[in-house]
Amino acid sequence: MAGAYRGAFSGAALFYVLYTVVSLVSLGMIIPVLDVILVPEGAQEVRHFPAGWGDMNAQDWVAHYVAQAVSRYGSLGTLWRVSLAAFGLFILKNAFRYIALWHMATLRTGITATLRQALHQKVMRLSPATMQESRKGDILARSSTDVTEIEWAILTGLELLVREPLVILGSLIVLVVMSAKLTLLLVVVGPLAAWLLNRVSKHLKRKSSTAQDRLGQVLSALEESISGLRILQAFQAEDYQQKRFERVNQGAFAATRDVHRRRDLASPLSELIGVFALLLILFYGGREVLLGHGLTGATLVAYLLFFYQLIPAFKSVSMALYNLQKGNAAAERLFEVLDLPETLRDPDVTEAWTCPANGPETIEFRNLHFTYPGASRPALQNFNLTIERGQTVALVGPSGGGKSTLIHLALRAMDPDQGGIFLEGHPIAPYRGEAHEAHEMQRPPMPLQDLRAAMGLVTQDPILFHGTALENIALGDASPDLDRAKKAAKDAQALAFIEDLPGGWNHILAEGGQSLSGGQRQRMALARALYRNAPILLLDEATSALDAENERLVQEALDAASSGRTTLVVAHRLATVQKADRILVLDQGQIVEDGNHPQLLAKGGLYATLVQTQALQST
């Protein structure tokens, strides 16, 4: 990342240096102007340089050339020439400053854009289980507020490293040359200023980190309220949620207020110290002028102007230090996400196995154990299942039995705590089990991308993205095939309503597909899975949220899509899985019944009870 913006950094640094040098020179032009104004016509004395460099006196140097100019052009002629030169220098100074800021625009926005890109890429590589542990609002806060803090830290940091130190150093050199006695006062005031500013900024980094955490909680609470608005209104829980949000918001308010108060204290403190030093120099320097101790009135005025330039420079340094502290805290929060472990990695092997076009001969779940973080009991325990090619296997049972967990593991959205999943004996992830079992399974693994390419997924809540209907169905395809998309839509019974959209296949869907009905979104999600032409189909509650008519349409499409594919179905509505080759009843992470619909009914067990219960509920 640093290499990509090295040119912008170098350009900004170079022109900040030029800007600073010209600033000092342009401000120094005030001395000859004052000499012309304050000394009467004809009173200037043409002086000569001392013979040795060690005897060189800056005031003598300036007075010599001012007197020469006055003798040639007169006081008025010298005044307008010096003023014109000073104006030219100020134009040049501001040109250099703009060019420096022009490079800074590339640097600061480029780096922050790169950070956001890196954060998004990281999220795309994380497992959904890892993402569930980090709230969406907090991630959004880190990609917006924290990145903005880093941007300001970059801007002020470069000023702190390049521009302001040069201004301070150059001004101090000029001040020492003009009057070493007066400059000594600055050395006395400096440590006092540093001590006071350090006292204010001591805890700023910690408070900034706390404030950013609280802002993340606010965004999470707001995202939760927006997502659950229908439920909150239905249960008349608006006041409850409002009070809950108010507590979080007040916490963020108090934390950010403390940060701003500490940061804003830097500016008045710096100015107070600067004014105190200014008055002290004015008194002591005026005394030197009045007593005739080698300091002229013009030199004192110029000295005060150079010193006054130091005040904003020191203020900028103090503010830059605060912004760097905040940026550092924000960067730490951002890198907490960037440093999250990527558990879903392909194993380090030289040989990999690719799934056949018609799917694997078998899908085997062997000795699976999985427990969600923070859960009191495992979602799956000692789970074993083998699915033959072309079979449709349905997973049913009470909620929390581990059905959807099995889908997530098959898709490798997460990895099991123990055991493994195998396609034709090839592991899709490193096997976690006994040493002798692992030794028996040393077949080439299946790369993650190949695994997911072999699977089509349809979930209970179909996710559609902001884009055209074609882009949503051909999701992941850089060059969508319209004919192929039309066939997938026809098989999913979605072709008619897609072509009736205002823009047809080029119609831009609202985010989440809110302009479509639930049944239409579900059929588009099925068309997306069919477009992939994957040999394995994973259906996770694909019809549970639909009304009877849409359920019928989607179920007909699902039945047709399952033909010739290995299909794993999770369903609560048992009427939708009666045609499955096998029905597995899961309870508390284990298979308690296995058979087809007539066999399980004849057993009179849990499946039969569930069928009877749903039959009664539908009457």
Span 143-156, pLDDT tens digits:
777 777 777 777 67
Please, what is the Cα angle at 137 between 542 and 342, to 5 degrees?
75
Tens of pLDDT, residues 499-544: 998 888 998 887 667 778 888 888 888 888 888 888 998 888 877 6
Concatenating the DSSP letter of every residue in 332-372 gives HHHHHHHTS---------S------TT--SEEEEEEEEE--
Which of 62-68's residues contact partners 24+ apart within 8 Å by CB, and which partners? Answer: 62/31, 62/32, 62/35, 63/35, 65/32, 66/32, 66/35, 66/36
Is the predicted pLDDT of residue 24 greater than 80, yes or no? no
587: helix, coil or strand? strand
CA 300 vs. chain centroid, Å, equals 52
Provide the pLDDT for residue 106.
81
Residue 159 tokens read as: 């000023």
Q: Give the list of residues 6+ apart from residue 596 with CB closer than 8 angstroms, or none.
A: 580, 581, 582, 583
Is the predicted pLDDT of residue 262 greater than 80, yes or no? no
Inter-residue contact 48 to 6 (CB < 8 Å): no
Is the predicted pLDDT of residue 64 greater than 70, yes or no? no
Please, what is the Cα angle at 535 between 531 and 537, to 5 degrees?
75
CA 491 to CA 562: how far, in whole Å?
Answer: 11
Provide the pLDDT for residue 440.
46
Provide the pLDDT for residue 446.
81
Q: Is the pLDDT higher at 2 or at 386?
A: 386
pLDDT above 70 as % of the chain = 77
**pLDDT level of residue 124 (50, 70, 90 thresholds):** confident
- Continuous segment of H or E residues that includes residue 202: none
How confident is the model over 445-449, as a mean pLDDT?
A: 81
pLDDT above 90 as % of the chain = 5
> How crowded is the C-beta side of 409, counted as CA atoms within 13 Å?
31
Q: Give the list of residues 6+ apart from residue 2 with CB closer than 8 angstroms, or none.
A: 9
Alpha carbon separation from 460 to 223, 540, 568 (Å, rounded):
21, 6, 14
Alpha carbon separation from 619 to 37, 48, 143, 613 (Å, rounded):
105, 115, 51, 10
Please, what is the Cα angle at 546 between 540 and 548, to 5 degrees?
125
Of the ranges 30-34, 293-297, 411-415, 520-524, which one carries the lowest mean pLDDT score?
30-34
310: helix, coil or strand? helix
CA 434 to CA 140: how far, in whole Å?
Answer: 41
How confident is the model over 414-437, as a mean pLDDT?
A: 78
Tens of pLDDT, residues 592-601: 999 988 998 9
Residue 220 tokens read as: 């999470």
CA 178 to CA 160: how far, in whole Å?
Answer: 26
CA 304 to CA 317: how far, in whole Å?
Answer: 20
Provide the pLDDT for residue 388.
92
The neighbouring-strand residues paired with 536 are: 455, 566
Inter-residue contact 311 to 271 (CB < 8 Å): yes
Is the predicted pLDDT of residue 570 greater than 80, yes or no? yes
Q: If you search the block for the tokens 């502290």, which residue do you land on? A: 325
**pLDDT level of residue 441 (50, 70, 90 thresholds):** low
CA 58 to CA 538: how far, in whole Å?
Answer: 85
Provide the pLDDT for residue 435.
46
Per the prediction, the chain carries an average pLDDT of 77
β-pairing, 418-423 vs 362-370, is antiparallel
Provide the pLDDT for residue 350.
64
Q: Is the pLDDT higher at 63 or at 108?
A: 108
Residue 32 tokens read as: 């000859």
Q: If you search the block for the tokens 């605060």, which residue do you land on? A: 322
Inter-residue contact 148 to 331 (CB < 8 Å): no
Please, what is the Cα angle at 193 between 188 and 199, to 5 degrees?
135
Is the predicted pLDDT of residue 590 greater than 80, yes or no? yes
- Taking phi first (over 0 means left), then psi (-120 to 50 degrees means alpha), and beta for anything else, what does residue 52 get? beta
Is the predicted pLDDT of residue 241 greater than 60, yes or no? yes
Is the predicted pLDDT of residue 484 greater than 80, yes or no? yes
Phi, psi (rounded to 5 degrees) for 565:
-120, 155
How confident is the model over 360-385, as a mean pLDDT?
A: 88
CA 294 vs. chain centroid, Å, equals 60
How confident is the model over 275-290, as a mean pLDDT?
A: 77
CA 524 to CA 485: how far, in whole Å?
Answer: 10
CA 555 to CA 105: how far, in whole Å?
Answer: 55
Q: Is the pLDDT higher at 549 or at 477?
A: 477
CA 268 to CA 271: how far, in whole Å?
Answer: 5
Q: Choose from 194-203, 440-449, 461-470, 543-552 the range with maximum mean pLDDT.
A: 461-470
Q: Choose from 92-101, 103-112, 193-202, 233-242 the range with maximum mean pLDDT.
A: 92-101
Among residues 61, 73, 2, which one has the least CA distance to residue 32?
Answer: 61
DSSP 8-state class, residue 451:
H
Is the predicted pLDDT of residue 199 greater than 70, yes or no? no
How confident is the model over 98-111, as a mean pLDDT?
A: 83
Q: Choose from 11-25, 353-367, 376-390 the range with maximum mean pLDDT.
A: 376-390
Task: Sort 79 into a burial class: Cβ within 10 Å, 0-12 / 13-18 / 19+.
Answer: middle
Of the ranges 57-61, 91-95, 282-286, which one carries the lowest mean pLDDT score?
57-61
Of the ranges 90-104, 183-197, 551-565, which one carries the lowest mean pLDDT score?
183-197
The dihedral formed by the CA atoms of 531, 537, 541 and 545, expressed in degrees to the nearest 10: 20
How confident is the model over 220-230, as a mean pLDDT?
A: 73
Domains in the chain (CATH in brackets) are 3-338 (1.20.1560.10)
CA 19 to CA 100: how far, in whole Å?
Answer: 8
Provide the pLDDT for residue 291.
78
**pLDDT level of residue 284 (50, 70, 90 thresholds):** confident
Is the predicted pLDDT of residue 200 greater than 50, yes or no? yes
573: helix, coil or strand? coil
How confident is the model over 489-503, as a mean pLDDT?
A: 88
373: helix, coil or strand? coil
**pLDDT level of residue 482 (50, 70, 90 thresholds):** very high
Q: Is the pLDDT higher at 435 or at 580?
A: 580
CA 304 to CA 310: how far, in whole Å?
Answer: 10
Is the predicted pLDDT of residue 568 greater than 50, yes or no? yes
CA 472 vs. chain centroid, Å, equals 25
- Continuous segment of H or E residues that includes residue 445: none
Of the ranges 29-38, 179-188, 409-418, 555-564, which one carries the lowest mean pLDDT score?
29-38
Q: Is the pLDDT higher at 401 or at 325?
A: 401
538: helix, coil or strand? strand
Provide the pLDDT for residue 386.
92
Among residues 59, 60, 42, 41, which one has the least CA distance to residue 50?
Answer: 60
